[in-house]
Structure 1
Amino acid sequence: LGHEILAFMLSTSGWVLVSSTLPTDYWKVSSLDGTVITTATYWSNLWKACVTDSTGVSNCKDFASMLALEGYIQACRGLMIAAICLGFFGSIFALIGMKCTKIGGSDQNKAKIACLAGVNFILSGLCSLSACSLYAHRITTEFFDPMYMAQKYELGAALFIGWSGSILCILGGIMLCFSISCSFTKSQTKYIYNGAASRSHISSYVRGQAKTVNQSPPPQYSNSSRTQHFDKNAYV
């Protein structure tokens, strides 16, 4: 039970971090430094591009058309939305499939539901990990490309939050699958052992009872009967 609760907490915490990554502003950051202070900070995420000056005033521009976006941004959007949906269904399945809850039916059905929840969390972590890695790969490629003359960006805080949430989702999903399968295997083995012991006890009891029924006590002869029998043989 403790392993199930720990796995549920890890996977749910990872899903919360992944969900908070999608609306986070700083996916990539670039700054223009002056002699004393930072004059402007450029940052962007999956939905808009903004600039913040030294006074703290921000000017943002939303991406106008989804079809006009670059391919990697569209792919990251789809992967992050899929990760959030998979984690949501995984959390519901985990609540139903855990042994500490009273819903879900028999232990076998609860084990199947919990394994399905673990698979959903693993897929959610893989989707989020792929999205963050794809976005980071594009940033690093442009940053280290000497022929790229546009403004270069660095990795933002949202990517690190997404990576950490993805790892937690994957670890929690794996622990959830293994803890449920191991506990179900142990309970099934214990049931088979108890059944075999009860059957052997019944069979031994039946065999013992048959022996007592079939066995008959040896005949007992009194001294008088032995004498009478001897006398008849003597006269003959």
Structure 2
Amino acid sequence: MASSGLQLLGFFLSLVGLAVTVAATLMVQWKKQYQGKTHRIYEGLWMSCSGNERTTCEFHQYLLKLPTEVQATRGVMLLSIFLSAVALLVSTVGMKCTRFMDGKDESKSTTAMVGGIMFMVAGLLTLIITSWYVKMIVQIFNESHRLQSFEFGNAVFVSWAGGLLTMAGGAFLGCRRCTQSQSMSSNHLLSTSHPKSNYV
């Protein structure tokens, strides 16, 4: 089984990635627009804000009237969060430092690997939908009047960071090759040490 330190590192990175992804999903600065020097408009996946020094925010009331990029990004980000939450439970069961499935090392290793793969898929979904969202915003910005169109905001960078952290943590949790190499090396050391003890 992979070392508990490697699994804990992967679990910690995945947990941070999930938290960052949730924060990005709730952030309002997915789009931004400046009107003049002081008036600012921000639009997120759930609400929009506008104002000068003090901004007022309101939730999106009509789902079907939202732009396509907002609807698609909202759905995929929620799917990624749900998949990461399930992966969190699965990887907890399969980690070496937990007491679930004691005595079943192979099953625990497989469970941890499945959780890691789920984390990697969730992170990949976040990266893909965020990159597509940025592409749509840039395309709209180039095709319309630039003074009246939106630019992508800071939530995009936070979302990218969350996806990368989730994928990195999943890669550590799903490191099956590391597991096999460690078990093979330990078995090799045991097999070479016992025959020598039979000789004087």
TM over 0.5: yes
Is the Cα–Cα contact under 8 Å of residues 111 and 184 in structure 1 kept in the other structure? no
What TM-score, normalized to structure 1? Answer: 0.72
- The answer to which structure, 1 or 2, has the higher relative contact order (CA under 8 A, 6+ apart) is 2
Report the equivalent of 2:22: 19
Report the equivalent of 1:63: 60
Is the Cα–Cα contact under 8 Å of residues 10 and 172 in structure 1 kept in the other structure? yes
Q: Deviation digits for residues 4-37 of structure 1, max 9, x if unmatched?
A: 1111111111111001111111111111234xxx
Distance between the aligned counterparts of 1:155 and 1:5, measured in 2?
Answer: 34
Q: Unpaired segments of 5 or more residues in structure 2?
A: none
Residue of 141, 144, 150 corresponding to 2:142? 144
Residues 93, 181 of structure 1: alpha-carbon distance in 2 compared, 3 angstrom cutoff: farther
Report the equivalent of 2:40: 41
Residue of 125, 128, 138 corresponding to 1:127? 125
1:89 counterpart = 2:92 = no
Is the Cα–Cα contact under 8 Å of residues 31 and 152 in structure 2 kept in the other structure? yes
Distance between the aligned counterparts of 2:32 and 2:55, measured in 1?
Answer: 16
Greater C-alpha Rg:
1
Residue of 122, 125, 150 corresponding to 1:153? 150
1:187 counterpart = 2:183 = yes
Residue of 170, 174, 188 corresponding to 1:173? 170
Is the Cα–Cα contact under 8 Å of residues 49 and 55 in structure 2 kept in the other structure? no
Residues 159, 191 of structure 1: alpha-carbon distance in 2 compared, 3 angstrom cutoff: same
Is the Cα–Cα contact under 8 Å of residues 121 and 173 in structure 1 kept in the other structure? yes
After superposition, the CA RMSD in angstroms is 2.5
Q: Unpaired segments of 5 or more residues in structure 1?
A: 202-236
Q: Deviation digits for residues 62-113 of structure 1, max 9, x if unmatched?
A: 3232223332222111110011011111111222111111113411111111
What TM-score, normalized to structure 2? Answer: 0.84
Distance between the aligned counterparts of 1:93 and 1:57, measured in 2?
Answer: 42
